[in-house]
C-alpha cells in the first residue's frame, strides 16, 4: 500500500478524471426527474429486461402509476431461490453488433421507477408529493415511510438522523445516503456520521431501498439506501423556477433555479438561501447553497453531465435540556456560544454511452471536500444535573477529502427462451479524514485559540466490483442473483503522539439472490436473501465529545431475509405488505460513550395502503382528478441483542411500533388539503434499557408521541402555487433523543409551526 495518503488521494483523483475523459462522448440529461440517466441508470437497479419475442410481455407500470397522486411511499418489490429449469436452457445469443447511427436509441430514453424494477423492498416519493408536503427538511417526509425512523435534532434537518428497520438513527450511520448517486455522508468508509443534509427545496424525488440493495450499492446498507434526486434542466431555451417559504419561528428561504436547453447543450444554475432563528434560543442559522450543471448530448446514444456544488452553513446548536427545564419551557438554551460550521465543495462528472442496441456503459466520477468545525462549550460538570457553564470549550475539527469512480456496464441478451440482463460495475474509492480535537481557552474560543488534545489522520482505499443477472424465466417470473466483492485498506495515525501508522486490510464478499413474480400488471410478489456489511468506523459515536474509536472493532456483516407483495390492482388502491428478518454479526453499538461489537437480531412487518374513496365508489379504471384518499402505514419491529451482557434487551432508539395516517382531498388538480399524523412508540436510549430518567436527563426511556399536520395547496394560476400549513398542529411536547457530556439532556422536537410558501415557474 502506498504510504503517503496525500499522494494516493492525488493519484486516485487523477485516475478518476482520466477514466471519465476517456468515455467523454456524452450528452445532456433527460428533463424529467424519472428519466435522469446517470442518477437512476448508474445507481439504481436496472430496468426489467424486455420479454423475448416468443413471450408476451406484460404491461409495465408507468412512472406516473408508480406513485399516484397523494400516495404514501411504501415498501415494494424484491429477491430468493433459483429454479431447476434453468439447467435446460439453450445456447447464449448475444447481439453486440453496433447498429447504424439512425438506429441508435436516444441517450435520454425513459427509465422506469424502481418500484417497477427493483427486486427488493423500495419506497418512492414523487415530485408532486414533495410539493404537497412543502417540508422544511427531508426528514419530515422520510418519517412517513414505513420502516423509517427520523430523529429530529433541531428542526432544520442539516444533520440528518435516519434509521431503517430498527437500526440506530443517530447520525444516519447505518444507512447509505446519496444525492443523485453521489455519497452524502462525509465518508462512506472511514467515518460514516452524516453532518450534511440535502436541502429539501432542491429535491424532486426520493428512493428508499430497504432490501436487496447491498450488491449494487455496497457498504452501510444493512438498513438500506436513501437516494434523493435533484431537478433537471428544462427542455425550453430558458426557464425559471422560484421558491419561497416563511414560517413563524421565523425561518425564511428563497430559491431560484434558471435552466434551459439549446440544441445539445443543457444548463442549470440554482441558488438557495436559508436564514432563521428556529423554535429554540440558540438556533440561529444561515445556509447558502449554489449548484451549477452543464450537460451535452453528442448524439448516437452518448451524453455527459458535469455538476458543481458549493454549500456553506453556519448554525448555532442549543444542546440538550435538563428534565425540569424540558417540561417547563423547551424554547430555552444554556449554550449561547455553541456553533457549527459546515462547508461542502463537490464536483462530479457522469457519462452515458449506448454502445449498441443491447449494450450500455454509464460512468460516475466524483470528488468533494467537506469541513466540519463544531465548537461546544463545556459544563462545569458534564455529568451533573447542573447547567453551570465552564469557561472553556471542546473544538471538534474535521476535514474530509473524498474521490470515487463508479463505472457500470449493462448487456441485454437471450439465453435460449429466456431474456437476461447482465449488469457489471465497480468502484474505486479513496477518502482521507483529519480529526483534530482541541480544548479552547474560553467558552467562545474558535480555531487557533486552544490546546490540541488529539490529531488523527485516517484513510480508506477501496476497490470493489459487482455483477448482477436478471433472468426472466417465464412471462411473469424473474430471478435475480448477484455478488459484490470489496477490498478495503484503512490506516490511522496519531499526528500529535507521532505513533507509527496503524493499518488494517480486509475483504468482503456480498452475495444476494432474489425472486419477483408479477401477480398482475402493477402488482408484484417478491422475496430475497442478501448479505450486507458495514466497515468499522473510526467515529462510532453520536456525541462529538466522545472518541469511541478503535481498530479493534470488527467489520459488521448481516444476512437479511425478506418477502412480501406490492399491490396496485386499481387506480384507486395501492397496498404494500412485507416482512423481514436480519441476523447482524458484530454490530458496533455505542452506549454512554462506549463502542463494542454485538450480535443482534431484527425482524418485523411493514405495511402501507392508500384508498381512493370516490374511485372505489365509481369503480374508476383510471385515476380521478378529484379524489379523497385515505392513507395509512404501520411498522412493527423487534430489535434485540443476541449475545453478551445485554442479551434479550432492545437496541437503543428502536421503536417497536410506528405508524402514519392521513386523509388527502384532491380537487381537480387545482387544490389539495391534507390532514396527516404519525405515531412513534417508546424507545430506550441505552443498552441496559433503563426506564427511569436520571436527574441530568442523559438516560431513560423516551415516551411515545403523536404529531399531526394540516397542509393546503392552491394552484392560483398556471405558473403560481400557494401553500399554507401547520406542523405539529396540537403542539405536542416530545423528546427525540438524549445525550450526555457537553450536550447533556433531552432534545425536544419542533413545536407548532405555521408556514406560508409559494412557488412559480416561468
* 3-class SS letters over 27-77: CCCCCCHHHCHHHHHHHCCCCCCCCCCCCCCCCCCCHHHHCCCCCCCCCCC
The sign of the dihedral angle between the CA atoms of 162, 75, 639, 529 is negative
Torsion of CA 151, 153, 154, 160, to 10 degrees: -80
Determine the pLDDT at residue 537: 65
pLDDT digits (tens, 9 = 90+) for 189-216: 988 889 999 999 999 999 999 988 899 9
Query: CA-CA distance, 307 to 446, in Å (whole number)?
Result: 33
The answer, yes or no, to whether residue 18 has pLDDT greater than 60, is: no
Query: CA-CA distance, 585 to 642, in Å (whole number)?
Result: 9
The answer, yes or no, to whether residue 665 has pLDDT greater than 80, is: yes
Determine the pLDDT at residue 546: 37
Determine the pLDDT at residue 281: 95
Torsion of CA 19, 23, 29, 33, to 10 degrees: -50
Query: CA-CA distance, 486 to 111, in Å (whole number)?
Result: 28
Q: For residues 320 and 419, which has the higher predicted lDDT (pLDDT)? A: 320
Q: For residues 685 and 100, which has the higher predicted lDDT (pLDDT)? A: 685
**Which percentage of the chain shows pLDDT scores above 70?**
82
Query: CA-CA distance, 138 to 194, in Å (whole number)?
Result: 14
Lowest mean pLDDT among 92-96, 212-216, 660-664, 736-740: 92-96
The continuous run of DSSP H or E covering 106 comes out as none
What's the number of CA atoms in the CB half-sphere (13 Å) around residue 109? 16
Q: Evaluate whether 481 touches 497 at the Cβ level (below 8 Å).
A: no
Q: Is the peptide bond before 141 cis (omega within 30 degrees of 0)?
A: no
Question: Do the bridges between strand 224-230 and strand 175-179 make them parallel or antiparallel, or are there none, so unpaired?
Answer: parallel
- pLDDT band for position 377 (cuts 50, 70, 90): very high
For residue 601, the SS3 value is: strand
Q: For residues 381 and 500, which has the higher predicted lDDT (pLDDT)? A: 381
The CA–CA distances, whole Å, from 158 to 137, 287, 346, 463 equal: 8, 9, 17, 30
| Total residues belonging to the chain | 762
Question: Do the bridges between strand 594-612 and strand 573-591 make them parallel or antiparallel, or are there none, so unpaired?
Answer: antiparallel
Q: Evaluate whether 582 touches 164 at the Cβ level (below 8 Å).
A: no
pLDDT digits (tens, 9 = 90+) for 450-494: 999 999 999 999 999 999 999 988 888 999 999 999 999 999 998
Q: CB 342: neighbour CB atoms within 10 A? A: 22
In order, the DSSP letters of 243-308 are EEEEESS-EEEEEEEEEEEETTEEEEEEEEEEEE--SSTT--EEEEEEEEEEEEEEETTEEEEEEE
pLDDT digits (tens, 9 = 90+) for 279-288: 999 999 999 9
The answer, yes or no, to whether residue 69 has pLDDT greater than 50, is: no
Query: CA-CA distance, 287 to 264, in Å (whole number)?
Result: 33
Determine the pLDDT at residue 389: 96
Determine the pLDDT at residue 591: 66
Amino acid at each position: 500500500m502506498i504510504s503517503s495518503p496525500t499522494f494516493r488521494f492525488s493519484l486516485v483523483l487523477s485516475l478518476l478524471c482520466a477514466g471519465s475523459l476517456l468515455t467523454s462522448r456524452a450528452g445532456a440529461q433527460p428533463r424529467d426527474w424519472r428519466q435522469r440517466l446517470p442518477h437512476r441508470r448508474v445507481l439504481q437497479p436496472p430496468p426489467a429486461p424486455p420479454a423475448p419475442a416468443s413471450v408476451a410481455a406484460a404491461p409495465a407500470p408507468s412512472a406516473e402509476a408508480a406513485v399516484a397522486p397523494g400516495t404514501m411511499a411504501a415498501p415494494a418489490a424484491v429477491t430468493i431461490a433459483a429454479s431447476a429449469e434453468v439447467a435446460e436452457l439453450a445456447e447464449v445469443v448475444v447481439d453486440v453488433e453496433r447498429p447504424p447511427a439512425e438506429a441508435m436509441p436516444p441517450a435520454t430514453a425513459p427509465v422506469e421507477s424502481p418500484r417497477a424494477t427493483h427486486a427488493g423492498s423500495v419506497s418512492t416519493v414523487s415530485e408532486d408529493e414533495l410539493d404537497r408536503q412543502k417540508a422544511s427538511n427531508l426528514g419530515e417526509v422520510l418519517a412517513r415511510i414505513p420502516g423509517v425512523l427520523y430523529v429530529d435534532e433541531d428542526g432544520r434537518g442539516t444533520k440528518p438522523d435516519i434509521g431503517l428497520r430498527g437500526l440506530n438513527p443517530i447520525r444516519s450511520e447505518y444507512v447509505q445516503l446519496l444525492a443523485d448517486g453521489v455519497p452524502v455522508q462525509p465518508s462512506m468508509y472511514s467515518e460514516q456520521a452524516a453532518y450534511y443534509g440535502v436541502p429539501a427545496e432542491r429535491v424532486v424525488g426520493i428512493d428508499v431501498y430497504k432490501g436487496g440493495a447491498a450488491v449494487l450499492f455496497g457498504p452501510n446498507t444493512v438498513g438500506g439506501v436513501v437516494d434523493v434526486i435533484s431537478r433537471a434542466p428544462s427542455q425550453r431555451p430558458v426557464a425559471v423556477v422560484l421558491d419561497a417559504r416563511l414560517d413563524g419561528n421565523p425561518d425564511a428561504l428563497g430559491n431560484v433555479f434558471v435552466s434551459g436547453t439549446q440544441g445539445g447543450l443543457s444548463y442549470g444554475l440554482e441558488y438557495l438561501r436559508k436564514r432563521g432563528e428556529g423554535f429554540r434560543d440558540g438556533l440561529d442559522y444561515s445556509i447558502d447553497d449554489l449548484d451549477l450543471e452543464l450537460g451535452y448530448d453528442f448524439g448516437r446514444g452518448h451524453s455527459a453531465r458535469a455538476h458543481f456544488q458549493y454549500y456553506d452553513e453556519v448554525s448555532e446548536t442549543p444542546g440538550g435540556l435538563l428534565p425540569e427545564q424540558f417540561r417547563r419551557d423547551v424554547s430555552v438554551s444554556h449554550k449561547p456560544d455553541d456553533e457549527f460550521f459546515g462547508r461542502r465543495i463537490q464536483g462530479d462528472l457522469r457519462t452515458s454511452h449506448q454502445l449498441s442496441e443491447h449494450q450500455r456503459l454509464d460512468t460516475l466520477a466524483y470528488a468533494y471536500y467537506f469541513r466540519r468545525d463544531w465548537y461546544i462549550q463545556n459544563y462545569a460538570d458534564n455529568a451533573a444535573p447542573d447547567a453551570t457553564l465552564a469557561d472553556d470549550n471542546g473544538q471538534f475539527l474535521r476535514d474530509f477529502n473524498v474521490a470515487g469512480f463508479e463505472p457500470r456496464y449493462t448487456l441485454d441478451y437471450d439465453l435460449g427462451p429466456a431474456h437476461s440482463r447482465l449488469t457489471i460495475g465497480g468502484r474505486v474509492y479513496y477518502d482521507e479524514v483529519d480529526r483534530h480535537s482541541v480544548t479552547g481557552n474560553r467558552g467562545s474560543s474558535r480555531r487557533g485559540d486552544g490546546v490540541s488534545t488529539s490529531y488523527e489522520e485516517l484513510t480508506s482505499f477501496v476497490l470493489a466490483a459487482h455483477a448482477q443477472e436478471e433472468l426472466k424465466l417465464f412471462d411473469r417470473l424473474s430471478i435475480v442473483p448477484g455478488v459484490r466483492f470489496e477490498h478495503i485498506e484503512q490506516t490511522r495515525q496519531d499526528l500529535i503522539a507521532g505513533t507509527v501508522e496503524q493499518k488494517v486490510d480486509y475483504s468482503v464478499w456480498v452475495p444476494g439472490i432474489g425472486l419477483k413474480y408479477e401477480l398482475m400488471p402493477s402488482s408484484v410478489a417478491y422475496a430475497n436473501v442478501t448479505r450486507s456489511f458495514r466497515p468499522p468506523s473510526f467515529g462510532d459515536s453520536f456525541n462529538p465529545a466522545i472518541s469511541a474509536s478503535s481498530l479493534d472493532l470488527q467489520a459488521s456483516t448481516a444476512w437479511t431475509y425478506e418477502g412480501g407483495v406490492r399491490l396496485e390492482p386499481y387506480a384507486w388502491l395501492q397496498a404494500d405488505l412485507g416482512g423481514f428478518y436480519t441476523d447482524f454479526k458484530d454490530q458496533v453499538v455505542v452506549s454512554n460513550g462506549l463502542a463494542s461489537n454485538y450480535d443482534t437480531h431484527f425482524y418485523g412487518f411493514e405495511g402501507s395502503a392508500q384508498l381512493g374513496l370516490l374511485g372505489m365508489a365509481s369503480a374508476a379504471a383510471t385515476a380521478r382528478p378529484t379524489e379523497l384518499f385515505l392513507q395509512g402505514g404501520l411498522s412493527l419491529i423487534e430489535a434485540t441483542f443476541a449475545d453478551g451482557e445485554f442479551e434479550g434487551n432492545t437496541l437503543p432508539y428502536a421503536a417497536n411500533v410506528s405508524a402514519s395516517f392521513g386523509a388527502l382531498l384532491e380537487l381537480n388538480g387545482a387544490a389539495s388539503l391534507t390532514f396527516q399524523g404519525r405515531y412513534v412508540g417508546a424507545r430506550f436510549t441505552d443498552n441496559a434499557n433503563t426506564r427511569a430518567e436520571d436527574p441530568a436527563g442523559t438516560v431513560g426511556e423516551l415516551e411515545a408521541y403523536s404529531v399531526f399536520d394540516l397542509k393546503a395547496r392552491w394552484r392560483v394560476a398556471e405558473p403560481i402555487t400557494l401553500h399554507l400549513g401547520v406542523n405539529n398542529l396540537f403542539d405536542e411536547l416530545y423528546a427525540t433523543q438524549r445525550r450526555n457530556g457537553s450536550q447533556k439532556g433531552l432534545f425536544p422536537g419542533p413545536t407548532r409551526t405555521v408556514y406560508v410558501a409559494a412557488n412559480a415557474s416561468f
